[in-house]
Amino acid sequence: MAHQNLDSLDKKILRLIAEDARIPFLEVARACNVSGAAIHQRIQKLSNQGVLKGSQFIIDPEKIGYETCAYIGLNLKNPEDFDNALAVLQQIPEVVECHYTTGDYDMFIKIYALNNHHLLNIIHNKLQPLGLARSESIISFHSAFSRQLPIADVTTDNTADEEE
């Protein structure tokens, strides 16, 4: 993956909008001591480079009835079925993340279900047909925190320095 070279203004903008995605651009401009047009241009540049991948409202799954959050490690019988398994997983709305991993699992997914019975139905009716050799489920009782990564300075040897 290509690492983008960010200057100090880019980093300051990213810190501000990561903290509050709804912050008005004019407020960002004031904090950065530049024009609103400059902020718009920088945001557009960061979006075009793929540094920013949009903005979104975060829905609390529990507030809309999804009481069970689980992480499931999947092992496929045939590793050449990855593309097919990924296509099927993308069609299951309760699967909100999917990662290719090293270690014990071929893939690791995050899933929300209405309750444990719903989770069991998803596992039996939607995941097992993927051709799993085995799976392991871990149920999350509660998310302690979730956050954005810090915008750190990166030196030439690819180690992160302290924030400015």
Question: What is the CATH number for 32?
Answer: 1.10.10.10
- Tens of pLDDT, residue by residue over 134-145, are 999 999 999 999
Burial class (CB in 10 A: 0-12, 13-18, 19+), 72: buried
Residue type, 151: I
**89 & 129 share domain:** yes
pLDDT for res 58: 86
Q: Does residue 74 lie in a domain region?
A: yes
Tokens, residue 71: 């992480």
CA neighbor of 93 nearest in space, from 111, 81, 105, 108: 111
Domain count along the chain: 2
* % pLDDT > 90, the chain: 76
Instruction: Place 147 in a pLDDT band, splitting at 50, 70 and 90.
Output: confident
Query: Residue with structure tokens 């993340």?
Result: 97
Mean pLDDT of 16-37: 94
Q: How far apart are CA 38 and CA 55, in angstroms?
A: 19
More confident residue, 155 or 76: 76
Q: Does residue 158 lie in a domain region?
A: no
The pTM assigned to this predicted structure is 0.79
The whole domain housing 112 covers: 61-140
User: Residue 107 gets which letter from DSSP?
Assistant: E
Q: Does residue 154 lie in a domain region?
A: no
